[in-house]
Structure 1
Amino acid sequence: MESNEEQPSSAATQPLLSKQYPSPIDEPSSLHSDPTNSEPEASQYLQISYNYGPRPIKDLPFLILFSLFVLCSFGFGIFASVHRNPNFSNVSSYVYDSNSTSCVKESSSSAFDKPLYLYSSDSAVLTSLIWTLVITLIVSVPFMLCVLLLLKHYTKQVVYVSLPFFIIVPIFVNVYWFVVCTVDSTCSDAFPIGYRILVLVFVFLVIAVVVWIIVVNWHRIELTVKIIGVASHALWRNLALFGVLLALTLGLVVYYVPIVVFLVFVKQNGKIVTRYEGGEYYCAWKQDSWVPAYFALAILTMLWSASAMVEAQIYVISGTVAQWYFSKDDSGPRRSIRNSLRNAFGPSSGTVCLSGLLICVVRLVRAMVDSASQEDATGVVNLILRCCVNALVVAFDFLNKFTINFAAITGEAYCSSARMTYELLKRNLLSAVFVETVSTRLLGGIIFVLSAIYAIVVCAILNGVSNLGVDSYFVAAMAWVLLLVVLGYFVHVLDNVIDTVYVCYAIDRDRGEVYKQEVHEVYVHLPISRNHKQSLIPQTPFSNV
């Protein structure tokens, strides 16, 4: 905030790091050799804070490029819908006429000449499935808020109570399905004992790996608990984010509907032609030559739009949480979400589009590499190519980790945000790729346990009030998947809050200020590298005078 910005004085001639937190490593002597050169650098770094003022438009070419993709997808889609051939669905009713050497429609053909077979499904199972999913969807919202409230006030208790269930629930499920399948004659006949034992042992090996991960990261559990608690508090202060994020997701679905309709109609652009095969002529459908190109354009537009929407949501989360962080009032400023939305879809829309494009390209490249590796491609060239692609993907993840978070705070362009974020964290001896990955795994384990317990309860209720039999496991599994998806999105939002608070903490540390004392008391214990363990001696964060 402007009221907290200090003008550079004669003290700015001292090295920036010497003014702030004591470094756990020795500072190079070069930092003290030339104080004249450090003065403008320190003055520049002290200006990093949340940009409340008007923001200039950034990365405009990528916004224009994305707009062209969208306009072309909708323009050609409308053209395809208007000029579609209604005979597409009646190709089978056309026959080759030797007199006119063309395809003509049979007068006796009827759409009801062929028998129509209706496949009936068990109405009880379908009804139970629909009602269970609807109830799960309704319950998931208050369930998610209860989890957030528990993480806010009782983080330590929730984490330590959930840890044993990381092992107990998978063991119970693994043993239960093995016993049930062994007792049931149909399952035992379809799934021989040898394969059942193999799956049972494999699942136990996976559980052993989970136990090993918990043991190896046990020294970080206490720090992780505090990080989750701080992030939960920040998210609780901005609960309206969930409504905005849901509205953005629904907006993306509505945006997808016409494109999907266009993809259906574009297949009907073509004509019925005669073809010769096997010594006889027949009638077949021939698509227009531009149809595959439109499919590629529309699918790329949908992928880019999805990635851009994800980045826009991260932008809104980061901007809102950053405004809460840099405010003296714990409730945060008014209209913080509105300001973040205006910036995300206004001046920074080009940055969001560029970030979405890069994310989309990286995911496509990664999918191609994974597909090539599954095809058992051999050879030195393929191995070198795979290593190069993986190195580029790792490098992108390294640079992209906090880029959109920083752009939401400062309003900088994408490339500037990537460079300035890396320099900011490097100056303050913080990791550019590591906040606390244990928190993500721990949250994932918690929601897995909670959703699994919910599925077990649903299965017990279904067995008690209905006669679904084995189908009750299928219905419970679908309820488990739905609740897991909802809670997984909650973890995604909380992860972005953790990243945003981390960047805000780095800015505070860089400026020598403390906006949220409770955040500094936790984040000051983060390791400076992936292999560095936090000190057992408590560190006192810098307090603003």
Structure 2
Amino acid sequence: MGSNNEDPSSSPSHPLLEPHSPDSQESFIHISYNHGPRSFKDLPFFILFLLFSLSTFAFGIFSIFHRNPNYPASLSSFSFNPTTQTCTTSTSTSTTYFLLSLNSTYYSSNFVEDLTWTLVITFILSIPICWLLLLFLKHYTKHLVYATLPFFIVIPIFLNVYWFVVCTVSSTCSDVFPMVYRILVLVFLFLVIGVIVWILVANWHRVELTISIIGVASNALSWNLGLFGVLPCLTIGLLLYYVPMVMFMVFATFNGKVVPKGLEGDEIGCVWKQDSWVPAYFALAILTMLWSATAMVEAQVYVISGTIAHWYFSKDDQVPRKSITNSIRNAFGPSVGTVCLSGLLMCVVRMVRSAVDSARQEDAPGIVNLILRCCVNAFLAAVDFLNKFTINFAAITGEAYCTSARMTYELLRRNLLSAVFVETISSRILAGIIFVLSAIYTIVVCVILKTTTSLGSDSYLVAALAWLLLIIVLGFFVHVLDIVIDSIYVCYAIDRDSGEVCKQDVHEVYVHLPISRSSRQSNVVTRILGV
């Protein structure tokens, strides 16, 4: 290795991490962050995406001009004319739109006003809450995690005792659920809580490492706060892109005519029959919208990864400039085909997984169905493994999707790094933190509504909606932080592969990551055989 810093893999504490042999060093290409201009990759998939989008817009415009101006607001105004063998009407049946409003008997003006103000205040407060959360995760990660971890145990205990007391007090529940069974369930749930405590204690060393990883990622995100302005703008752009598509689908339903149809007995009625191309257009529009959504998600991952990589590979005393702009330019420029391909794969995976879940709910019998579901699940797991870190790597190097997938796998395999540990533990801890914070906020909101308003039991509904809004905003924050963790992981692997240390504080944390099991086993076999 060509760095003056000591390589952790050669230290006595890592006996299995041996230096690469000269033959292996010649077999792989040096990987680094691509600062310069990039060439276009995976263009055929961008062209395919354009064809889907243009076709959706073209047929949508056609549906507007080809719609039936006499689309019936109600078929009751039509009757079958036996003389002409057609459906006719004597009244004007021009297209009419009806808007349904909330019934004032169900929702009073006070409820709507309190709900509106609660949601507005929650959204405004969510911004400083996210900022404070990032600040605490950056400087006081250990304190925040240790303060929220007990709630992972306290909340289940509270719920367990609460249901037992309520069921004991209620005569109806006591009659249906005898005391002996209630005690058995209570003890069983306490045993489950005990297992959770044991898991936390047994993996305490991993929690300590995850705390350090979250702290490093929070520091990286604090240097690139502009991402919180760019990413929502990309989401808004996607919604604006959806508006004409939804409008086209509405107008597509107006393409057809009223035709006679036989009903019960000899009676003939009138029904609306859509043109034959309308169902196909719906399928095209829905597929385009799904592909656009997954492509936008991958584009956001690309922008975050490119921005974090620019920060990682810059000097410590240098403030990153135009890193977000360059990442956006690369995502929607040279790498737009890669983003479209990654989005297409994720779209297909989600559609297939949804179909498999639907088939599982139907519980179709037969060994063939069982084998088919197992094969499909194995295929989806392979695609997920292939896609893991691929778009992050593409954002860093500018390579094509397939090349990035292969090089990412080789990069992690060469450096004996696991692709599982960082994702599972850090994501769950962060999810637990935002759940606890949002739950505390919801309790405070509920108490305030109970004491200052006359909503009564409706205050629980308002508090629940406030909790939902806050958990969505905090979930977006955690989603960004998860991507930052993955991006730093890939940057660290590139550093480790080339023997360099661009960010010393990152290496001091990530060097303690566990070794990949498959690589460890293959290395042990190699030592035993003496190869």
TM exceeds 0.5? yes
Report the CA distance between 1:387 and its aligned residue. 1.0
Q: Does 1:236 align with 2:222?
A: yes
Q: Does 1:316 align with 2:303?
A: yes
Q: Does 1:22 align with 2:10?
A: yes
Answer whether contact 1:325 1:332 (CA < 8 A) is retained. no
Aligned match for 1:335, one of 306, 310, 322: 322
User: Could you give the per-residue CA deviations for residues 218-239 of structure 1, whole angstroms, max 9, x where no partner exists?
Assistant: 2211101100000000001100
Aligned match for 2:65, one of 82, 89, 101: 82
Aligned to 2:527: none
Counterpart Cα distance in 2 of 1:438 and 1:130:
37
> SS state of the match for residue 9, structure 2?
coil
Counterpart Cα distance in 2 of 1:239 and 1:117:
41
Aligned to 1:94: 78
CA pair 523-20 structure 1, distance change in 2 beyond 3 A: closer
Q: Does 1:363 align with 2:363?
A: no
> SS state of the match for residue 421, structure 2?
coil
- What is the identity, as a one-letter code, of the residue corresponding to 2:418? S
User: Could you give the per-residue CA deviations for residues 345-394 of structure 1, whole angstroms, max 9, x where no partner exists?
Assistant: 00000000000000111111111111111111221111111111111111
Range with bigger deviation, 150-159 or 390-399: 390-399
CA pair 250-200 structure 1, distance change in 2 beyond 3 A: farther
Counterpart Cα distance in 2 of 1:199 and 1:141:
45
Answer whether contact 1:217 1:438 (CA < 8 A) is retained. no
> SS state of the match for residue 10, structure 2?
coil
Range with bigger deviation, 385-394 or 118-127: 118-127
- What is the identity, as a one-letter code, of the residue corresponding to 2:58? G
Aligned to 1:529: 516
Report the CA distance between 1:136 and its aligned residue. 1.0
- What is the identity, as a one-letter code, of the residue corresponding to 1:528? I
Counterpart Cα distance in 1 of 2:184 and 2:103:
34
How many residues were matched structurally? 505
Counterpart Cα distance in 2 of 1:118 and 1:60:
49
Aligned match for 1:40, one of 26, 29, 34: 26
Range with bigger deviation, 144-153 or 165-174: 165-174
Report the CA distance between 1:133 and its aligned residue. 1.3
Counterpart Cα distance in 1 of 2:185 and 2:58:
54
- Which consecutive unaligned segments of at least 5 residues does structure 1 have? 1-10, 13-17, 534-545
Aligned to 1:146: 132
CA pair 111-327 structure 1, distance change in 2 beyond 3 A: closer
- What is the identity, as a one-letter code, of the residue corresponding to 1:82? F
Answer whether contact 2:70 2:94 (CA < 8 A) is retained. no
Report the CA distance between 1:59 and its aligned residue. 0.4
- What is the identity, as a one-letter code, of the residue corresponding to 1:270? G
RMSD value over aligned CA atoms?
A: 3.1
CA pair 208-252 structure 1, distance change in 2 beyond 3 A: farther
Range with bigger deviation, 445-454 or 216-225: 216-225
Aligned to 1:509: 496
- What is the identity, as a one-letter code, of the residue corresponding to 2:107? D
> SS state of the match for residue 227, structure 1?
helix
- What is the identity, as a one-letter code, of the residue corresponding to 2:204? W
TM superposition score normalised by structure 1: 0.85
User: Could you give the per-residue CA deviations for residues 420-449 of structure 1, whole angstroms, max 9, x where no partner exists?
Assistant: 011111111111343252111100000000
Counterpart Cα distance in 2 of 1:271 and 1:194:
63
Aligned to 1:7: none
Aligned to 1:427: 414
Report the CA distance between 1:209 and its aligned residue. 5.8
Report the CA distance between 1:469 and its aligned residue. 1.6
Q: Does 1:280 align with 2:267?
A: yes
Aligned match for 1:69, one of 52, 55, 70: 52
> SS state of the match for residue 271, structure 1?
strand
- Which consecutive unaligned segments of at least 5 residues does structure 2 have? 521-531
- What is the identity, as a one-letter code, of the residue corresponding to 2:230? V
Aligned to 1:543: none
Aligned match for 2:107, one of 113, 122, 135: 122
Counterpart Cα distance in 2 of 1:250 and 1:480:
22
CA pair 532-57 structure 1, distance change in 2 beyond 3 A: closer
Counterpart Cα distance in 2 of 1:522 and 1:118:
55
TM superposition score normalised by structure 2: 0.88
Superposed, 1:21-420 pairs within 5 Å as 21-22=9-10, 24-26=14-16, 32=21, 35=22, 37-38=23-24, 40-41=26-27, 44-45=29-30, 48-88=31-71, 89-107=73-91, 119-120=103-104, 121-123=106-108, 124-172=110-158, 210-278=196-264, 279-330=266-317, 332-420=319-407
CA pair 212-255 structure 1, distance change in 2 beyond 3 A: farther
Report the CA distance between 1:475 and its aligned residue. 1.1
> SS state of the match for residue 86, structure 1?
coil
Counterpart Cα distance in 2 of 1:122 and 1:441:
38
Aligned to 2:523: none
Answer whether contact 1:171 1:204 (CA < 8 A) is retained. yes
Answer whether contact 2:302 2:327 (CA < 8 A) is retained. yes
> SS state of the match for residue 473, structure 2?
helix
Report the CA distance between 1:74 and its aligned residue. 0.9
- What is the identity, as a one-letter code, of the residue corresponding to 2:85? T
Range with bigger deviation, 369-378 or 338-347: 369-378
Aligned to 1:6: none
